[in-house]
Amino acid sequence: MVADKKDGDPSERQIADNRKAFHDYHILDTWEAGVALLGTEVKSIREGSVSLRDSYARLTNGEVWLMNLHIGPYSHSGYSSHEERRQRKLLMHREEIRKLTGKVAERGLTLVPLRMYFKKGRVKVALGLAKGKQAHDKRETLRRREIDRETRAAVKSRQRG
């Protein structure tokens, strides 16, 4: 259910992450989902030509779809290729989808892909249940980050001298 691991499992390999999502949204909860892909898409992902920027997930008819995910064309493909920004079905348990449907129905919540990774050879996506940040929230986040950076630098300089 929750896909909140940063490191640890050696069978996980990071493909792409969506740093902009953490800047634009408050992430309330995270979920792990598999992705239904074509063969050329998997090969292209292994080459690293994938971008999560501006992508989002949508619930329709009891299914979760990943929209606007860019997977570039496979470099060694012959006559067959895939559409770069097609809808891709996310694979989740029915109970998880039911919980997500209830939460997304609340006002202002959306599903945003946070990172894409390989887990035991399968492509997975960490979905975040997100609420949009306003401009003053973004400025506050940047201010906090700057203060943390300054305090770390001050502590480091004290330890040296």
Structure tokens at 151: 């305090």
Higher pLDDT, 43 or 4: 43
Q: What is the pLDDT of residues 102-119, one digit of tens each?
A: 888 877 788 899 999 999
Closest CA to 101 of 142, 135, 92: 92
Domains along the chain? 12-133 (2.40.280.10)
Residue type, 113: P
Tell me what pLDDT residue 117 has. Answer: 92
What is the pLDDT at residue 3?
52
Say if pTM beats, i.e. exceeds, 0.75. no
Structure confidence at residue 19 (pLDDT): 85
- The b-or-e profile of 101-128 (16+ CB within 10 A means b, else e) is eeebeeeebebbbbbbbbeeeebbbbbb
Q: Is the confidence at residue 6, as pLDDT, over 80?
A: no
